[in-house]
Amino acid sequence: MAEATENRTISILVVDDHPFIVDGIKSLLAENTKFKIVADTNFPENVIQMLQNQHIEIVITDISMPKISGMELTKLIKAAQPEVKVLALSMHGDKQTIKEMLEAGINGYILKNTGKAELLEALTRISQGGMYFSQEVSTELLKPSTPAKIQEVERRPQLTTRELEIVQLIVDELSNAQIGEKLFISERTVETHRKNIFHKTQTKSVAGLVKFAIETGIVKC
């Protein structure tokens, strides 16, 4: 997994049907040397072709767009080029939309009122293989579930204390080796725990595990 370094520029594609939003993001990153907007478009239907024509590492996309929504676009991007990171950008952060975007495969979710510092933090985090949610988004995800949802969560298998520790460290973006060193266990043991965690939570990816962890409140945001 490629990581951002001080000596390498990360290429970005911005997708939003409102030109002034694209211009705003360009302005925020104009003097930054770590992240460079190499392409932008107001037409999400053009994105897959653009990804084929040039090297893009991160796509910043609006969620509410005509013809193709941000959720649909994320699924298309992940199907065509799964290594491309997707940062969702929205005016609103309602719980259902956030969860649907997580399921689509996003690597981060921030609101359009974000400032330069948070945008850079989000881009840095996801370029290094992690995930990023703005404070408002994290707060929305942690709001109490409906009674039906609570019952669903209560029926899920319980994780052991060790598994809970490992889930937190996975969410904190530690590798298997780093987790093993921190918990004084072997890397192979960590991998075994990971497999058990994915099986118990019925998740298949780190994004899915993060969603489960946030829904059940078993991690600290």
Q: Which of 44-48, 52-56, 146-150 comes out lowest in average pLDDT?
A: 146-150
State what percent of residues in the chain have pLDDT above 70. Answer: 89
**Greater model confidence, 184 or 214:** 184
pLDDT value at residue 205: 84
Instruction: Write the pLDDT tens digit of every residue in 134-170.
Output: 888 888 877 765 554 544 444 455 788 888 889 888 8
Which of 83, 27, 74, 71 minimizes the C-alpha distance to 47? 74
Averaged pLDDT, 195-208 = 86
CA 42 from centroid of its chain's CA atoms? 22
**Greater model confidence, 41 or 98:** 41
Domains in the chain with CATH codes: 10-141 (3.40.50.2300), 147-216 (1.10.10.10)
- Give this prediction's pTM: 0.67
Name the average pLDDT for the chain.
Answer: 86
Say if residue 185's pLDDT is above 80.
Answer: yes
**Greater model confidence, 117 or 1:** 117
